[in-house]
Amino acid sequence: MLNSAGIHYPRATPEMWPDLIAKSIEGGADVVQTYVFWDRHEPVRGQYYFEGRFDIVKFVKLVRDAGLYLHLRIGPYVCAEWNFGGFPVWLRDIPGIIFRTDNEPFKAEMERFVKKIVDLMREEMLFSWQGGPIIMLQIENEYGNIESSFGQGGKNYVKWAAGMALGLGAGVPWVMCRQADAPGSVINACNGYYCDGFRPNSGNKPSLWTEDWDGWYASWGGRLPHRPVEDLAFAVARFFQRGGSFQNYYMYFGGTNFGRTSGGPFYITSYDYDAPIDEFGLKSQPKWGHLKDLHGAIKLCERALVSSDSVHYLKLGPLQEAHIYNGTEGMCSAFVANVDQHRSATVHFLGKAYTIPPWSVSILPDCRNIVFNTAKVVAQTSIKSTEPSQMPYGAMTLSQSRAYWNI
């Protein structure tokens, strides 16, 4: 059972990376997930840049050295509320190009960059079979949302992208998120606020939640988005209760859209995302702490979850249910859910009575004792305040300000 922390390396400074990774470990993450940003790695066709905030090799090695896994989402279209979706601007000027369809000029450029990243990771010994942290890769991004608009060209493109990716010999699984027709061994995955009802397109594929939206991005003049941690914890517990194996918080740390990287109409510089770690690298409480407690409870169930051949389902009431996992050596773990949004419920489960708050899941690692309930927050709550900064030398005239800042 893997919980993943979404962290985009360019949305933090390299000096922040070790602390962000450490806070992810402390919070119970097993994996770090990031996109790869083509426009910044190849600002001019054929000229690559992997320095500063874009030193992806350094970032991946820090994840490795910390003992975490990594899910690398190459795309190379990433969306991510990033300028041009991560495509370099020069791409649009290639004669005859049409983005993200069965178009030879586009496919040639896409394959060249994806191969560049896979080769770089292999050369640096960063795949899991080499002793590195990378356990999964991603090709394309939410293409299923627009595939039908390209007709047969879209279907052909999906098959080509999957085949191209597999042909690179990376030696780890490839994922296509929001792609119900992901072909062959490529794993289709869920993105959304709730993914407990998601099922992959083959019984031979695991259930992956590549984007668990724990907040949202913000626009100029709009309200700052907020998702209560009780609802977020409920969604995660339900996902694992119903057979999930990997979920990633999008975002665990959102960070900052430095420079002109922010995409979309009127997206603000901050990419805080109401994440468990805020834009400045500080823990957002109680979100960070409550999720840490959740991850700990899930880990207590892990042996039963992974060793159970099947799950036993019990209907406990009109909107109440339990899933029981009987593992090897007599292990038993259970999730008891009340999906009534308004009323608590008292249920009888394996000879005991339990009162479950509305819209919540109780986790019982031994099938007897509740160690965590998603609606009961015991983590500390922190309130942050901001104050106006002071000018370096008091009030300045316009000419003094220009002189000070050398403008």
In a domain, 341, yes or no: yes
**Phi, psi for residue 220 in degrees, rounded to 5:** -55, 130
44 and 287 Cβ atoms separated by less than 8 Å: no
Task: pLDDT band for 75, please (50, 70, 90 cuts).
Answer: very high
Task: pLDDT band for 91, please (50, 70, 90 cuts).
Answer: very high
191 and 251 Cβ atoms separated by less than 8 Å: no
Q: Are 366 and 294 within one domain? A: no
Matching residue, tokens 């874009």: 54
The per-residue pLDDT for 51 is 98
In a domain, 21, yes or no: yes
Q: Are 142 and 291 within one domain? A: yes
E-assigned strands of 297-392?
Answer: 311-317, 320-326, 332-338, 345-349, 352-356, 360-364, 372-373
Q: Are 336 and 272 within one domain? A: no
Q: Are 26 and 168 within one domain? A: yes
In a domain, 402, yes or no: no
* pLDDT higher than threshold 80 for residue 405: no
User: In whole angstroms, what is the distance from residue 262 CA to residue 361 CA?
Assistant: 37
Residue 123 CB contacts under 8 Å (≥ 6 apart), including other chains: none
Q: Are 279 and 185 within one domain? A: yes
CATH of the domain at 357: 2.60.40
The per-residue pLDDT for 395 is 59
Which among 185, 104, 182 is positioned nearest to 147, based on CA atoms?
182
> Once rounded to an integer, what is the mean pLDDT over residues 129-134?
98
Q: Are 315 and 273 within one domain? A: no
Q: Are 217 and 354 within one domain? A: no
- Strands 311-317, 31-35: pairing kind: unpaired
Domain span holding position 125: 2-303
Helices 56-65 and 104-123, interaxial angle, to 10°?
Answer: 40
Can you name the residues that pair with 361 across neighbouring β-strands?
337
User: In whole angstroms, what is the distance from residue 264 CA to residue 262 CA?
Assistant: 7
The per-residue pLDDT for 390 is 66
24 and 292 Cβ atoms separated by less than 8 Å: no
> Once rounded to an integer, what is the mean pLDDT over residues 338-346?
98
Task: pLDDT band for 406, please (50, 70, 90 cuts).
Answer: low
* pLDDT higher than threshold 90 for residue 328: no
* pLDDT higher than threshold 70 for residue 402: no
Joined tokens for residue 341: 């949004």
> Once rounded to an integer, what is the mean pLDDT over residues 130-147?
98
Point out the domain boundary residue: 258, 273, 303.
Answer: 303
Question: Catalytic amino acids?
Answer: 142, 211
Using DSSP, state whether 57 is helix, strand or coil. helix
> Once rounded to an integer, what is the mean pLDDT over residues 303-331?
94
Can you name the residues that pair with 34 across neighbouring β-strands?
72
Using DSSP, state whether 234 is helix, strand or coil. helix
- Strands 69-75, 208-213: pairing kind: unpaired
Query: Model confidence over 252-281: pLDDT tens digits?
Result: 999 999 999 999 889 999 999 999 999 999
> Once rounded to an integer, what is the mean pLDDT over residues 218-237?
97
* pLDDT higher than threshold 80 for residue 309: yes
> Once rounded to an integer, what is the mean pLDDT over residues 234-253?
98
Percent residues over pLDDT 90 in the chain: 92
Q: Are 296 and 314 within one domain? A: no
> Once rounded to an integer, what is the mean pLDDT over residues 193-203?
97
The per-residue pLDDT for 393 is 52
Which among 231, 207, 209, 331 is positioned nearest to 291, based on CA atoms?
231
* pLDDT higher than threshold 70 for residue 396: no
> Once rounded to an integer, what is the mean pLDDT over residues 162-187?
98
> Once rounded to an integer, what is the mean pLDDT over residues 171-193?
98
Point out the domain boundary residue: 270, 303, 336.
Answer: 303
* pLDDT higher than threshold 60 for residue 67: yes
Instruction: Pick the more confident residue, 403 or 192.
Output: 192
Q: Are 285 and 350 within one domain? A: no
Instruction: Pick the more confident residue, 382 or 167.
Output: 167
CATH of the domain at 90: 3.20.20.80
CB-count exposure of residue 216 (10 Å: 0-12, 13-18, 19+): middle
Instruction: Pick the more confident residue, 391 or 321.
Output: 321
Q: How many domains does the chain have?
A: 2
